[in-house]
Amino acid sequence: MPKPICLVLPMPANLGNARMHWRKKNRMKKNYYASLDTLLAAKKIRKPPSKVWEQATITVEMYVWSLMDLDNAFARLKWPLDWLSINGYIADDRIRNLHYSGFPEQEVDRKNQRLVLTLEKGIQ
């Protein structure tokens, strides 16, 4: 069994309750993807496995400004999970491919907001 992949990523914008023009939201998403691409190129985050994981289990830790309700926490994962899929870490973020080990854990850390994702191959 391959080693788990632990990624420390910047916290994406909280868009769960946001109302904005689609073009602005799209620009924000592209900028977020670019920031992750830069971290990957600079070897600040681990590269994807040599073969994409068809099934994976994810554990999510969020270090946030203030605690969120669960629907906003899950909404905040949209861009990072899509980026993981685009870049070959996971096959897809659909339920048959990606399972959560539990609800996202949240801890207040206003000075260093971040997202810690741990991927394990297979369904745990």
Q: What is the pLDDT of residue 19?
A: 83
Residue 118 buriedness (CB in 10 A; 0-12 / 13-18 / 19+): middle
Q: Assess whether pLDDT exceeds 80 at residue 1.
A: no
How does pLDDT run across 73-111, given as a tens digit for each residue?
999 999 999 999 999 999 999 999 999 999 999 999 999
Other beta carbons within 10 angstroms of residue 38's beta carbon come to 11
Q: What is the pTM of this model?
A: 0.93
Residue 66 buriedness (CB in 10 A; 0-12 / 13-18 / 19+): exposed
| Alpha helical stretches, state H, 46-99 | 70-75, 78-86
Number of domains in the chain: 1
Q: How far is CA 117 from the centre of its chain?
A: 6
Q: Assess whether pLDDT exceeds 80 at residue 18.
A: no
The range of the structural domain enclosing residue 50 comes to: 5-121
User: pLDDT tier at 36 (50, 70, 90 boundaries)?
Assistant: very high
Among 8-17, 40-49, 67-76, 96-105, the minimum mean pLDDT is found in 8-17
User: Could you tell me which residue, 25 or 17, shows the higher pLDDT?
Assistant: 25
H/E element, 32: helix 22-41
Other beta carbons within 10 angstroms of residue 108's beta carbon come to 11
CATH number at residue 57: 3.30.1330.70
Strands (E) across 1-124 are located at 5-10, 56-64, 98-100, 105-108, 114-121
Average pLDDT, the chain: 95
